[in-house]
Structure 1
Amino acid sequence: MSEEMMQTTHVENPAWFDGKKINETMFCEEFLRDYPMVTVNDAFFTVNGRVHDENRLKKVIYDRIKYYVTSGVAKKVTNLLDVMRMECCTAKLSLYQDRIHVVNGTYYLNGTFSPEKDFCRNRLPVAYNPDAPQPVTWLHFLSQLLEPEDILTLQEFMGYCFIPSTKGQKMLLLIGKGGEGKSRIGIVLRALLGSNMNTGSIAKVETSPFARADLEHELVMLDDDMKLEALPQTNNIKAIITAELPMDLEKKGQQSYQGDLYVRFIGLGNGVLQSLYDRSVGFFRRQIILSTKEKDPNRKDDPYIAEKMCAETESIFLWALEGLHRLIDNDYKFTVSQSAQENMDAAVSDGNNIIEFLSSEGYIRFKADYEVSSKDLYAVYKLWCDDNALSSLSQKSFCSFLKQNESRYNIEYTNKVNIGGGRYARGFVGIELLQRPFL
């Protein structure tokens, strides 16, 4: 809500007041002529983006009617707001992925700029200034925080967050031991995105039935202190990261509805996301994991570094815009360094030690024309876990993973493994045991 909306002028006999009561329809029509808005899923939008603070909107309405209503004022303000919600309701407010709405106009990804403003879901609080200088403080900060190739990834992801798109199908995690300064990235993002960024817990997205609705119309969800506890499920996170169709959203005390989610996740913490039950590579494939550099013991921290970087937002915007153009030119494939790839591989292994077992030596080997029962293979897997001081996954998870990855390991699930005595059991063709299972 802009400051100009907070200003009102007392009119002696407005057309919407007959001396006894307010004509609600006429009041809303006049109000919307003065301050054009539309609503989508009950949320108000102006040319400056979403109206996040409806209390300020109520204050403007109150200032207009307080001279004419002497009792039940709060109820009347609420009623007028509800009528206005219906008056300016629109079926859809288009999401454009070819432009970025900034405070001084509209930047088009073809390189053109217009000072014109249209109704939009998100308008950034930063101005487009093609003559802004290099963000010297920001670039120096990043050189101390990340390796050069990983800086390119961050540049692309920050630019990716400017448009309402999920084409990149990734979330970004920055992990470190602590004290490196990675939380300052969140402060800079807030300066770039303003109220278009939600801060909270990624874990809550999976545990709260109302968390998804809180992310509607948001460009970014930042978790600046990720919990290390394993997620009870990953369905919501995976669905949001790759969302291309409206999703079912639910607000407390309201009927669920279909809404667009295009929020991008950024997590800062000391470890990667893990899942209690999801052992699929797909969960980790949606993550880009960047490791921060260890803090230089001789580094002198500047307590005003965040303010200095926020003063460079116009320059940082151009820097991130360069990353967005590079990402689009590469068909939304992010630059991923060897280190980042190794981080993902390690996260996959940590989250599912079956993968590490299948690549181990001395326990099994993949060999055509050999077969093994699920029972015997699981027993050797448990032996490997004991030898490596690891907790074994359940037999159901173990067998399910192998069946889902038959082609990856060139094995075949069967229910005709000969276990002697004329008996046949379930198992796999293409695996030879090198250890005697302890049954």
Structure 2
Amino acid sequence: MPDDSAKDKLRFRDLAQHVRQVTSVNGMPVIWYWKGRFWIWSEGVYEPQHLEDTVLFVLKHLMSAGIDSSHWVATQVAHALAAMSMLFIEKYPCWITTQGKERDGPYSIALANKLVDINALALDREARPERPVVSSHDPAWFSTTRLPYAWDPDCQAPLALKLFRENLTGPEAVAMLRGFMGYFLLPTTREHKALFLYGKRGTGKSAIANTVRVLLGKRNFSQLSISQFGNRFAMPRTEGMMLNITDEVCSVISAQAEERLKWFMSGSSMDIEDKNVRMYAMDPTAKLLVCLNEYPRFHDTEGAIWRRICPLRCPNKVSDEKKDTRLYDEREGGKLVGEGPGIFNFAIRGLGEYLKAGRLLICQDSEREWATASAENCGVRTFVTENLRSEPDGYVSSKNLRELYEHWCDQNGVDRRERVGVVPLGRVVRREFSGASSKSRRLAGMTVNGFTGVTLI
């Protein structure tokens, strides 16, 4: 005969199975255990739950079934429920089976009233009959993303379009923004690109960023500043998000914040820390949108950050008479908030353009701005190109180059914290001049380190 302990375990398991069955939708369980917490499906989306919330959820359904229970019993049932509801998935979001394993299926996004296969929709492609482009919410789609408005294929966004045309440089810039907005809807950072909205104060950058906020909804973006990237406990706030929106950028950022920013834009997995939680690996899901009045000075001399920046200029000053902050304020009946379905359709069009091209389309104005800003921002590169030229038989000692660089920094007001040493300076020299190389020479009876293939102008 089994002892009382074994009987209790069997009872808790049976009660957990009961809760799982009575809460299922069309035979699909709606409660899962993943990454050390419970996830419960409701209104088209999975929500993370604390253990106490799950215990109350269990207690509610046990009592509804007339099963005499206590908080302690419900807690034991929750533990049993965790054991039988484990998710075995490697990618997120994804379609899952009733056994909690991944299965094939199209990437979809839940809107307030429908589940949409956005890739098929963007490419004007008919899905298979068993998997329509637009369908009802389905708990087999494991995702925490739900957009806050209803699916309406006929809705337009005249206010948003007017705002884009008034604040950007032209139709090509609007098309570039449209492609990025479509890319923001995808659960990938594969392009390794960040959109930087650049302009002086009052040029509509925040208005464009607010329109993107309307597209995604409050629950689907984080708002870490670039300086906060240096805080090891801040990064978990971006996990599972579609986008991180940064409204303020300091002219000088820490080396640690810059390294994390580089990692974030590259989409590489990285170990992070959360308070009261052990360190774990996180794969970034959020893309990056930055609004700035001036570019920060980056410590990076390899161009790794600048290669990932796509600037979009906002050159036109918006007069105080034209500013209408109520457009975004739900409490004031914000008109732009009501254009959510139309903004979604605008982004879907951009997604189609992106998928057909196989890359993000960058307008000519953005390319010119990138060339100018990257050259001006990377002081090392500017110094090298202004003070050196290619010379096959030339030679410049590291000591002379360093002294000249320090003098140039003093003249140009470069902060001492931003100045680089001889090694990164040499990397820039070799990158800018293909014939340059590091080499030691004997001069005046001494060994001198320096660079061949270049000479001072």
| Pair in the same fold by TM > 0.5 | yes
- Listed as ranges, the gaps of 5+ residues in structure 1 are 1-19, 435-439
Deviations 1:162-215 (A, max 9, x none): 11111211111223333334334444334332322222323222x222333332
Partner of 2:20: 32
- Paired AA for residue 455 in structure 2: E
Does the residue aligned with 2:401 lie in a helix, a strand or coil? helix
> Are the counterparts in 1 of residues 59 and 69 from structure 2 also a CA contact under 8 Å?
no
Does the residue aligned with 2:244 lie in a helix, a strand or coil? strand
Match of 1:156 among 164, 179, 193: 179
The answer as to 2:336 corresponding to 1:341 is no
Q: Shift in Å at residue 249 of structure 1?
A: 3.8
Give the Cα–Cα distance (whole angstroms) in 2 for the partners of residues 273 and 69 of structure 1.
59
Give the Cα–Cα distance (whole angstroms) in 1 for the partners of residues 284 and 327 of structure 2.
33
Deviations 1:131-166 (A, max 9, x none): 22x310110111222122322222111111111111
Change (3 A) 1:144 1:53: farther
Match of 2:347 among 320, 325, 332: 320
Change (3 A) 1:429 1:98: farther
- Paired AA for residue 327 in structure 2: I
Change (3 A) 1:261 1:399: closer
Give the Cα–Cα distance (whole angstroms) in 1 for the partners of residues 263 and 404 of structure 2.
35
- Paired AA for residue 278 in structure 1: D
Partner of 1:50: 46
Partner of 1:354: 380
> Are the counterparts in 1 of residues 398 and 422 from structure 2 also a CA contact under 8 Å?
no
Partner of 1:91: 88
Q: Identity of counterpart residues, as a percentage?
A: 20
> Are the counterparts in 2 of residues 249 and 259 from structure 1 also a CA contact under 8 Å?
yes
> Are the counterparts in 2 of residues 58 and 77 from structure 1 also a CA contact under 8 Å?
yes
Give the Cα–Cα distance (whole angstroms) in 2 for the partners of residues 76 and 185 of structure 1.
52
Give the Cα–Cα distance (whole angstroms) in 1 for the partners of residues 381 and 92 of structure 2.
44
Tell which deviates more after alignment, 159-168 or 263-272.
263-272
The answer as to 2:312 corresponding to 1:274 is no
Q: Shift in Å at residue 62 of structure 1?
A: 4.8
Q: Shift in Å at residue 270 of structure 1?
A: 2.5
Change (3 A) 1:40 1:274: farther
- Paired AA for residue 336 in structure 2: M
Question: Number of residue pairs matched?
Answer: 404
- Listed as ranges, the gaps of 5+ residues in structure 2 are 1-7, 25-29, 95-104, 127-132, 329-333
Q: Shift in Å at residue 83 of structure 1?
A: 4.4
Give the Cα–Cα distance (whole angstroms) in 2 for the partners of residues 187 and 333 of structure 1.
21
> Are the counterparts in 1 of residues 211 and 336 from structure 2 also a CA contact under 8 Å?
yes
The answer as to 2:115 corresponding to 1:105 is yes
Deviations 1:38-83 (A, max 9, x none): 333135253733304647655534544679456xx4x766665554
> Are the counterparts in 2 of residues 247 and 260 from structure 1 also a CA contact under 8 Å?
yes
> Are the counterparts in 2 of residues 100 and 162 from structure 1 also a CA contact under 8 Å?
no
Give the Cα–Cα distance (whole angstroms) in 1 for the partners of residues 246 and 79 of structure 2.
33
TM-score (norm: length of structure 1): 0.80
Change (3 A) 1:60 1:136: same
Change (3 A) 1:314 1:274: same
Give the Cα–Cα distance (whole angstroms) in 1 for the partners of residues 189 and 372 of structure 2.
25
Does the residue aligned with 1:368 lie in a helix, a strand or coil? strand
Give the Cα–Cα distance (whole angstroms) in 1 for the partners of residues 297 and 40 of structure 2.
37
Map residues 72-87 of structure 1 onto 2, 5 A cutoff.
73=71, 80-87=77-84
Match of 2:168 among 131, 146, 152: 146
Q: Shift in Å at residue 431 of structure 1?
A: 1.6
Change (3 A) 1:155 1:29: same
Give the Cα–Cα distance (whole angstroms) in 2 for the partners of residues 186 and 288 of structure 1.
15
TM-score (norm: length of structure 2): 0.77
Change (3 A) 1:379 1:229: closer
Q: Root-mean-square deviation (CA), in Å? A: 3.2
Match of 1:383 among 407, 428, 443: 407
Give the Cα–Cα distance (whole angstroms) in 1 for the partners of residues 403 and 59 of structure 2.
73
Give the Cα–Cα distance (whole angstroms) in 2 for the partners of residues 27 and 383 of structure 1.
77
Map residues 168-207 of structure 1 onto 2, 5 A cutoff.
168-194=191-217, 195-205=219-229, 207=230
> Are the counterparts in 2 of residues 176 and 269 from structure 1 also a CA contact under 8 Å?
yes
Give the Cα–Cα distance (whole angstroms) in 1 for the partners of residues 76 and 68 of structure 2.
15
Does the residue aligned with 2:393 lie in a helix, a strand or coil? strand
The answer as to 2:60 corresponding to 1:60 is no
Partner of 2:102: none
